[in-house]
Structure 1
Amino acid sequence: MVRKERDFLGEVEVPEDVYWGVFTKRAAGNFTLSGRKARPVLIHALGRIKEAAAQVHGELGQLPANKAQAIEQAAREVAEGKFDDQFPLDAIQAGAGTPFNMNCNEVIANRALEILGRGRGDYDYIHPNNDVNKSQSSNDVIPTAIRLAVLMGNPSLDAAGLKLQESLKAKAKQYEHVVMTGRTHLQDAVPITMGQIFDAYALSIEHDRNELAHACIRVGVLGIGGTAVGTGLNTHPKFRALMVKHLAKNTGVRVTPAISPVELTSSMNAFLVYGSALEQMATTLHRISMDLQILSSGPRAGIGEIRLPEVEPGSSIMPGKINPSIAEAAEMAALQIVGRVRTAADGCRGGRLQLNVLTPLIMHNLLSAQRLAAHTCDMMRTQCIDGLSPNEERIRKHLEDGLMIATSLAPKFGYNQVSEWVKEADKRGLAIKTVILEKKVISEKELDKLLDPSKLVGPSEK
């Protein structure tokens, strides 16, 4: 069964059982590019905007009460995810995301008609443009929806980051007694504790979370009410302030009205700020994953100082082989996040004259990167960090064989003299202690004190 809907381009048949209409039908046929749909959080954010608009129009007496209430209820149902299956459009579509906006307008209009006991497509009574989209334009709705979606998605990312941070902190405390060989340039360096390493990881994640939270302040500035070019044409003088008020209440996120909606129709720089913070977190995740792959290398011919959880067989041909699969996946996810953030940044350069037309590109990539970052934090914590442990015997052997503990002797004997002893020990394959004792320049007791790795992991007055 079908129903016939008409726009200024002509008549189109629409399946009778769907809530979307003629605009969505045309867009679905035009844009079959990525095979990916809008993230649900974007759909829910659109619903919140339409809900707030209906509330404001009812409050200002710009819509009859029954229509305003029906639209508000329908929009709230969209925001609650009850109509996610009614948004079929490709994430990559027409400039400025007009199809997304109209898809939402049509779904809400037809659901509102249904609430009022009327048939779908009865647009003479409730119209997608005239009523649901009243006082709005895709040019202010879509950027606002992306901002709200980012703000609504950030708590999940923050929670995942916090749990990872706490897991790293717990490992730092658990193994603070373990002194390891430090490494710079992938070469042996002075000692460091496992506690110091993992505490630093935790601090990096904390910094990343703080940067994301700070970026949300900028993202929370909304241009809704600016309509087509930011000037507010076809809106009530109180519309913009009331929209921000209702959006804050309906979403629970911190939002403020833009000083200049004109700026926010063409400038998407707030997403550059948030994307930069996301890239910072991705860089931290990449660094940690790389470190764990190196430190767990082996088990016999590598460094092998960290044991990672064994989550799956590592080879289809080599029996018994185990790989750092979770750390490898985290590395790839981190690079994917960076790629999506940089594509979103290119989208932010799509401002031309009074409009940025690349908002669908920004939306698709930034929200995907945000979600991937949250999942990566969760995976790293549950599948890797929580279950890792040090190979203390291997760590101790590397310390005993290491040469860079001789750095502690430089203040007493001088850099050049100690360098000669280090080169000699390396050439002869001896421990640095053995070579120095042969020189008879220091007692064994005093030398042991100077070379004690546990005393070489922080400042000293001597």
Structure 2
Amino acid sequence: METVASSACRKETDSIGSKNIPFDVYYGLQTLRASENFRITGLNIHDGIINSLAEIKKAAALTNCEVGLLDKKAASAIISACDEIIAGQLHDAFIVDPIQGGAGTSLNMNANEVIANRAIELLGGVKGDYTLVHPNDHVNCGQSTNDVIPTAGKLTALRLLNNAQKELERLVCALREKGEAFHDIIKIGRTQLQDAVPVRLGQEFCAYASALQRDIHRMEKAKDEMRCVNLGGTAVGTSLNADPRYVQRVVLNLDKITGLGLTQAYNLFDSTQNLDEFVAVSGSVKACAVTLSKIANDLRLMSSGPRAGLGEITLPPRQNGSSIMPGKVNPVIPEVVNQVAFNIIGNDVTITLAAEAGQFELNAFEPIVFYCLFQSIDTLAYAVNTFIDNCVAGITPNPKRCRELLEASVGCATALCPIIGYQAATELAKRALSENRPLREIALESGLLSPETLEQALDPVRMVGPD
């Protein structure tokens, strides 16, 4: 790649031709071509993967210096440039679209060019003077897009999952606190949206916490697959153009830099070809989204009303609910949780299709996998954050309404079955419904049970199980 400088632009040349590039930018010709070719989302590359790429390039420079393939001066400049990126600088120089052809080559070269040009500056040179530090020969030494990009994707996913898990742990705690606070409130349970048997309101909230704890555990297991990387395999897993000593050391150095507990894949061919590990992570995120959406559904139903619905709980009011109906307040936080879940489920389908579509030694569709996966994990964490702070923490129960619905229900007839039999209990329930009278009153009239036995049988506390 040749570079010729002018007053306002520098001209760079590659195998396709030449282009003028603004003199002050850190990216180079391959990045510029990619930005012109892939105007897809209009979004920026995720900051997490930019930092992950810088960590990989830092580990590679350190390792290549250790084995004598990169002189200390150039290596030091590259490492310093990487440290600046990891600290949050130069991110605006990453201009390629998240969705791109080429299996991520454009993103890899964006990193190579930015790091090379910043290293050149640190060495006292002029951006574009690749005789000092070359994007391919020096920054990309011992690497390929095909081992750099999947590794960067895994590092990013690991960190995003860590953040999501922290938010989920907060939600679990918030739900358990509500479970304890609502322990003494007994309400009618529902199956298939029909009256069932009594349940403690606190038991419902504790069940939500239990389900989410299982989701956290599922994510933790999926993270193990993200810790196994194919860095060192270069293009197809053969480690072509990488020094054997580099191959042995680079992941160890990357692990020291990141502290993420990384290991090198036992089979570099497999790890380069297949994206099933990302499917597993996406699956764990999707499963959690399903749990969250179900909880949000329950809260919307239990808070429905306030006069014409169930009204068993009250959600904290967050904003006006209508431009035309005065005083209307909608369950906007559960609604946004639902929508995030819908999007995550759709992203999971895309990730699944992209992983299936790989051929032979490489899957070319990692960019769309990462775009969808990072969005899913990020939005899950954001949704959980607002769910806790703007909804769950402020939920209040309506004990009187819970008691009214419990007394009006015939679900408690279930407790009479062991005493008078299923058929007789059914007849009492049907009569209570047809006459629109309390079950307790109908049962007492029937003479099938003594008042004492009936009182004990229909005691809600006895029906909701031990404390």
Q: TM-score range by the shorter chain?
A: over 0.9
Where does residue 360 of structure 1 map in the other structure?
A: 367
Contact map agreement 1:158 1:209 (CA 8 A) in 2? yes
In structure 2, list runs of 5 or more residues that go unmatched: 1-7
In the other structure, the counterpart of 2:354 is 347
Structure 2 CA distance, aligned partners of 1:241 and 1:430? 79
2:435 is equivalent to residue 419 of structure 1: no
Cα offset, 1:459, TM superposition: 6.7
- Mapped to 2, the partners of 1:344 and 1:411 lie a distance apart of 52
How do 1:368-383 residues align onto structure 2 when only pairs under 5 Å count? 368-383=375-390
**Pick aligned residue for 1:149 from 134, 156, 159:** 156
**Correspondence for 1:203:** 210
Instruction: Please state whether the residue corresponding to 1:96 is helix, strand or coil.
Output: coil
Report the CA distance shift for 1:198/1:149 in structure 2 as closer, same or farther (over 3 A): same
Q: 1:306 aligns with which of 308, 313, 319?
A: 313
C-alpha distance in 1 between matches for 2:312 and 2:334: 15
Task: Tell me, in whole angstroms, the C-alpha distance in 2 between the residues paired with 1:88 and 1:73.
Answer: 21
Matched, 1:330 2:337: yes
Shift, 1:443, TM fit: 2.1
Match of 2:195 among 188, 207, 222: 188
Q: Which one-letter code corresponds to 2:289 in the other structure? A: A
* Residue number in structure 1 paired with 2:289: 282
1:14 touches 1:21 (CA, 8 Å); kept in 2?
yes
Q: Match of 1:30? A: 37
| Per-residue CA distance 1:229-274 (angstroms, 9 max, x = gap) | 1110011112233111111111121211101111111101100110
Structure 1 letter corresponding to 2:145: S
SS where residue 103 of structure 2 aligns?
helix
Q: Which amino acid aligns with 2:340?
A: A
Counterparts of 1:342 and 1:81, CA distance in 2: 32
Pairing 1:7-26 to 2, within 5 Å after superposition: 7-26=14-33
CA deviations 1:385-423 (Å, max 9, x no partner) are 000011111001011111111111100111111001100
Match of 2:136 in 1: 129
**Structure-2 separation of matches of 1:324 and 1:165:** 20
In 2: Cα distance, 1:429 partner to 1:436 partner: 13
Give 1:20-419 correspondences, 5 Å limit: 20-419=27-426
Between the aligned partners of 1:291 and 1:240, the Cα distance in structure 2 is 52
The C-alpha deviation readout for 1:75-123, integer Å capped at 9, x for no partner, is 1222222111111111111121100000000000000001110110011
SS at match of 1:95: coil
C-alpha offsets along residues 26-79 of structure 1, whole Å, 9 cap, x if unaligned?
111111111122211011111110000001011111111100111111112222
Task: Determine what percentage of the aligned residue pairs are the same residue.
Answer: 39
Q: Which amino acid counterpart does residue 440 of structure 2 have in structure 1?
A: K
Contact 1:225 1:243 (8 Å CA) reproduced:
yes
Distance 2:66 2:202 in 1: 58
Name which of structure 1's ranges 74-83 and 257-266 shifts more when overlaid on structure 2.
74-83
SS of 1:329's partner is helix
Distance 1:350 1:143 in 2: 16
Aligned equivalents of 2:328 and 2:318: distance in 1? 11
AA in 1 matched with 2:419:
K
Q: Deviations over 1:295-321 (max 9, x none)?
A: 111111111101001001111111101
Q: Which residue of 2 aligns with 1:455?
A: 462
**Deviations, residues 169-203 of structure 1 (Å, cap 9, x unaligned):** 11001111111110001000001111111111001
Residues 240 and 257 of structure 1 are in contact (CA less than 8 Å); yes or no, is this contact kept in structure 2?
no
Write the distance in 1 (CA, Å) between the matches of 2:423 and 2:248: 71
TM-score, scaled to structure 1: 0.98
Cα distance in 1 between the residues matched to 2:199 and 2:251: 51
SS at 1:352 equivalent: coil
The letter of the residue matching 1:113 is I
Stretches of structure 1 lacking an aligned partner (at least 5 in a row): none
SS of alignment partner, residue 351 of structure 1: coil
* CA distance, structure 1, for counterparts of residue 315 and residue 368 of structure 2: 38
Off by >3 Å, runs of 4+ in structure 1: none
Q: Give the Cα–Cα distance (whole angstroms) in 1 for the partners of residues 221 and 285 of structure 2.
A: 12
Match for 2:53: what amino acid? L
Q: Which moved more, 1:12-21 or 1:443-452?
A: 443-452
SS in 2 for 1:313: coil
Deviation readout 1:329-364 (Å, 9 max, x if unpaired): 110011111111221222111320111000000110
Paired with 2:250 and 2:420, the residues of 1 have a C-alpha distance of: 73
CA contact (8 A) 1:20 1:106 kept: yes
Maintained 8 Å contact 1:110/1:120: yes
Contact 1:95 1:359 in 2 (8 A): no
Alignment correspondent of 1:429: 436
Tell me the amino acid that sits aligned with residue 348 of structure 2: V
Tell me, yes or no, if the aligned pair for 2:55 and 2:257 is still in contact at 8 Å.
Answer: yes
Paired residue for 2:3?
none
